[in-house]
Amino acid sequence: MVGPVVHLKTDRAHIAPFGDTRAHRMLEKHIRDFERYLRLEKNASGHTCRNYLTDLWEFDAFLREDHRGMVSHVDEINSLTIRAYLAFLSKKNKKRTQARKLSSLKTFFTYLVREQILADNPAQPVRTPKTEKHLPRHMSVDEVFAFLDSVPCETMLQARDKAILEVLYSSGIRVSELVGLSRGGIERAESVIRVLGKGGKERVVPVGDKALSSLEHYLEQSEPFCRKRYPDIPADRVPVFLNNRGGRLTARSVARIVDKYVLQCGLLHKMSPHAIRHSFATHMLNAGADLRAIQEMLGHESLSTTQKYTHLNVDRLMEVYDKTHPRSKKT
């Protein structure tokens, strides 16, 4: 399926470049071609396309405004050009942002090499800035139980909220996958749900009994509402999680629901739907789950993405070691 056309904002960071130099015309054409490649061949999401294009137009603006006269053609861009750009970024961007923008350039120039526009990738030799490692925030098991138990389920919307939070923690799916879930994706007999992940890839994710029970209660409560709101749509295509007008719930609405119950149950730290996903992975790993199994459930393409949770496990092991080993500390 062809992804949505990306319309960028018209502030200075997003606008297409202007001017009539040959370098400008060449780079603009390649960025436009790269956008089509992302949407048509890679089936990238609108969010991914926007991030890439924002980074590339900013690089284009740097070449025209801050590196003026040093590059007159796309094949004159070299590793020194890229390093100069990183030095420019370092004045106003954190290392994590610099690393992301460099990654965008590497992907873009890899595409140009593939299209035989460039012989080599000028960004490839440039070392990625070392970023600060932040362990993802997560809840303890006791906090999760208090959080989930704080949700009443007397009304349809409360039953919906309860089902949302139970499913997020039980399955570890992304909030985008949750709101994209349709009724046909729930397979009660197998205790799994089928979700559409990044890149349009479908995967099957296990769901626990408590989450399924909450989900079934909500589906029963919302059935009359769904029949009235979607009389002509096949039942398996009806959205699972609906807003109070009957439309598909958005990721932002789910974030507000999480905020509401975090406040209600008295948690000290702000939590997000992504923090619930982190909590799922951390608790599974601490209980002895295999890292590759967690990778499959989270839908990570690379095991290295999942391995950040091992840092949390190591912290726990060190805490146990310090408390129990007779020669762990100086006496």
Q: Using CA atoms of 138, 141, 147, 150 in order, give the dihedral in degrees to the nearest 10.
A: 180
245 is catalytic: no
Given the residues 39, 174, 278, 283, the one annotated as active site: 174
283 is catalytic: no
3-state secondary structure of 202: strand
- In angstroms, rounded to a whole number, what is the distance separating the alpha carbons of residues 207 and 325? 38
198 is catalytic: yes
- In angstroms, rounded to a whole number, what is the distance separating the alpha carbons of residues 128 and 86? 10
Estimate the share of the chain in helix, then strand, then coil, as percent rounded to the nearest 5: 60, 5, 35
68 is catalytic: no
| CB contact at 8 A, 190 and 180 | no
Looking at residue 199, the DSSP 8-state letter turns out to be G
Given the residues 42, 64, 198, 217, the one annotated as active site: 198
278 is catalytic: no
- In angstroms, rounded to a whole number, what is the distance separating the alpha carbons of residues 173 and 19? 45
Half-sphere exposure of 80 (CA within 13 A, CB side): 5
- In angstroms, rounded to a whole number, what is the distance separating the alpha carbons of residues 209 and 308? 28
3-state secondary structure of 242: strand
Given the residues 14, 106, 274, 308, the one annotated as active site: 274
Given the residues 101, 160, 183, 277, the one annotated as active site: 277
274 is catalytic: yes
**Active site (catalytic) residues:** 174, 198, 274, 277, 300, 309
